[in-house]
Amino acid sequence: MRYAGHITICLIGALGLSACDRGTSDAEVEQAIKDVNVIDETNLNDVMLTVADPNEGVAYFERTIAQNPDRIDLRRGLAISLIRARKPTAAAKAWENVMAMPGSTNEDRVEYADALIRANQWEKAAAQLDQIPPTHETFKRYRLEAMVADSNKEWKKADSFYEIAVGLTTKPSGTLNNWGFSKLTRGEYVEAERLFAEALTYDSTLFTAKNNLVLARAAQRKYDMPVVQMTQVEHAQLLHTAALSAIKQGDINTGKSLLSEAIATHPQHFDAAVRSLEALEASG
């Protein structure tokens, strides 16, 4: 930042000399300086939206908006920073303020709907999505449409929106995982297993999908570990998940065996599995 300030000072000095040499008016010099400051501010805005601490970003945009209340870009920055700071209710209000300003876009409305979902305001989110024209076809829009349809148990709509969303991104792992979980809650275990496995082909590190895959297989009484990339700790955790699923379905001996395997597999003390096995043995 010190380097950027040095550039600004040099530019201002050069502009001052230019005014003396060419007879540039004071107003033109002031406008040029203002333009340089805008460049510096844009860089700072980007920093606040990416690498800065989210709460620092919130404070920065709130302070800057107080000085420039009509700047929609600053209000967007505040809303994004509030999401980063995990304050979805405040973020939803900030996006509502963005939507009330001239220059708001369909993408802003998508972000508003996203904040409302994060704030557990599903009906309001659905109302915002309904206002977006069908020509606005983006991954995030359809991912949110799928989530809303899921929440309403509108399964055909959810499947359609998930399918469209997956086709609009090169990184569909999270969406495939969500779709798989939707299938899991409906009791469609084979299809859920397929979707979780597909999610892992795009991101082999997604532990949530690995855990969900084990749940989908266990629901079919397939307790062996799936052939996916996993660390030793993950292997133990997945064995624990399979064990609890087996016990829940009445396969007690299988559950005990899986718990013992989880304890032996974990590179450290696996307290949760130990407690589960002790409780199971104590109950008979």
The region that residue 103 occupies, defined by phi over 0 for left and psi between -120 and 50 for alpha, beta otherwise, is: left
Greatest alpha-carbon pair distance for the chain in Å reads 96
CB 183 within 8 A of CB 159: no
CA 87 to chain centre: 13
Asked if residue 11 has pLDDT above 60, the reply is: no
What is the arithmetic mean of pLDDT over 125-136?
A: 97
Within-domain flag for 144: no
Give me the count of residues in the chain.
284
Q: Whole-angstrom Cα distance, residue 100 to residue 78?
A: 15
Number of domains in the chain: 1
Q: pLDDT, tens digit, for every residue of 58-90?
A: 999 999 999 999 999 999 999 999 999 999 999
Within-domain flag for 145: no
In percent, the amount of the chain with pLDDT more than 90 equals 79
Amino acid at 242: A
Q: pLDDT, tens digit, for every residue of 95-121?
A: 999 999 999 999 999 999 999 999 999
| Domain at 48, CATH number | 1.25.40.10
Within-domain flag for 74: yes
The 8-class DSSP code of residue 226 comes to P
Within-domain flag for 132: yes
Domain range for 49 is: 40-136
Which of 209, 210, 153 lies closest to 177, judged by CA? 209
CB 109 within 8 A of CB 99: yes
Within-domain flag for 65: yes
Contacts for 23-29: CB closer than 8 Å, 24+ residues apart: none
Q: pLDDT, tens digit, for every residue of 49-60?
A: 876 788 999 999
At 281, is the pLDDT very low, low, confident or very high (cuts 50, 70, 90)? confident
Task: Give the chain's radius of gyration (CA, Å).
Answer: 27
CA 176 to chain centre: 14
At 13, is the pLDDT very low, low, confident or very high (cuts 50, 70, 90)? very low
Within-domain flag for 130: yes
Within-domain flag for 44: yes
CA dist 117 → 21, 23, 77 (Å):
59, 58, 19
Q: Which range, of 4-13, 32-41, 205-214, averages the lowest pLDDT?
A: 4-13
What is the arithmetic mean of pLDDT over 236-254?
A: 96
